[in-house]
């Protein structure tokens, strides 16, 4: 028996494609939203072309959904104006449409990059202060803030997933701490979409059970999912895996370097 209708924004993207394939048989219907046409919709999927910057189109696109998985937006460092339009305004349009349509649950794709300047020696949790490592991280701080606002003010049920390094397998040293396997990504999304209605607002790190992780896993009372995979399985394939990190170095690694952001700032 399916679990109702879920709309997925950014459904043609890397995470959206994996989650969609894994969950399509668990829900009665999936509404697939993206800027690009999706031409391989299954029998219980409906594809809709939607620009998240258009609030009217977003509301029309989400019509009929019981829950929303919001993955759409820019996925990395970009000029601030572009991030504000795609990530912040896009999320506002999704949340406002959910409010107007009476959608019961919105799952927002946040990012570990909202706390990238905490040191690797610190096991960081959702209650710790945000320390974004760039303009992209700033946009994701705003995404979480919008989710909190719509939960507190309008009663929406919102779960923010601070997504780790989503890869089939870890390929670099930082991934030994930050990796999010495909299997665990699906597990976190499933748990967020099906959390009890009493879950009014929650923010959790979506990361695999990596031995070297520097983010807290969610308490079962907050989100009932325990990740299964550990990047340490791949340690023999990772160059420099045996080197020790400076405990005061930022969790963001190279994303914290000034040059990573400066090239997106015009004068």
pLDDT tens per residue across span 39-54? 999 999 999 999 999 9
Instruction: Please report the pLDDT score of residue 266 as a whole number.
Output: 76
10 Å CB burial of residue 197 (0-12, 13-18, 19+) is exposed
Tally Cβ neighbours within 10 Å of residue 187: 20
Quickly name the fold that domain 5-262 has.
Rossmann fold (3.40.50)
Kind and range of the H or E run holding 166: strand 165-166
Instruction: Please report the pLDDT score of residue 100 as a whole number.
Output: 98
Q: Tokens 């400076």 sit at which residue?
A: 246
Give Cα 30 to chain centroid, integer Å: 18
Give catalytic residue positions: 136
User: What residues in the chain have per-residue pLDDT under 70?
Assistant: 1-2, 267
Kind and range of the H or E run holding 165: strand 165-166
Instruction: Please report the pLDDT score of residue 133 as a whole number.
Output: 98
CA angle 104, 202, 127 (to 5 degrees): 160
Domain extents in the chain = 5-262
30 three-class SS: strand
């Amino acid at each position: 028996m399916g679990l109702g209708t879920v709309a997925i924004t950014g459904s043609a993207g890397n995470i959206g494609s994996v989650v969609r394939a894994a969950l399509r048989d668990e829900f009665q219907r999936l509404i697939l939203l993206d800027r690009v046409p999706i031409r391989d919709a299954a029998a219980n999927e409906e594809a809709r072309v939607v620009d998240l910057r258009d609030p009217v189109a977003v509301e029309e696109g989400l019509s009929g959904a019981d829950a929303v998985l919001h993955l759409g937006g820019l996925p990395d460092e970009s000029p601030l104006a572009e991030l504000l339009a795609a990530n912040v305004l896009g999320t506002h349009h999704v949340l406002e449409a959910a409010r107007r349509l009476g959608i019961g649950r919105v799952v927002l794709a946040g990012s570990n990059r909202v706390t990238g300047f905490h040191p690797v020696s610190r096991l960081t949790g959702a209650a710790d202060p945000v320390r974004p490592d760039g303009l992209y991280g700033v946009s994701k701080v705003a995404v979480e803030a919008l989710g909190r606002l719509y939960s507190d003010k309008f009663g929406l049920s919102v779960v923010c997933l601070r997504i780790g390094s989503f890869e089939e397998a870890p390929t670099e040293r930082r991934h030994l701490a930050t990796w999010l396997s495909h299997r665990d990504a699906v597990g976190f999304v499933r748990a967020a979409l099906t959390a009890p209605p009493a879950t009014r607002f929650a923010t959790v790190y979506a990361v695999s059970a990596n031995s070297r992780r520097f983010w807290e896993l969610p308490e079962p009372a907050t989100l009932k999912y325990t990740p299964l995979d550990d990047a340490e399985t791949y340690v023999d394939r990772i160059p420099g895996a045996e080197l020790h990190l400076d405990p005061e170095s930022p969790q963001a690694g190279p994303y914290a370097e000034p040059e990573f952001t400066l090239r997106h700032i015009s004068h």
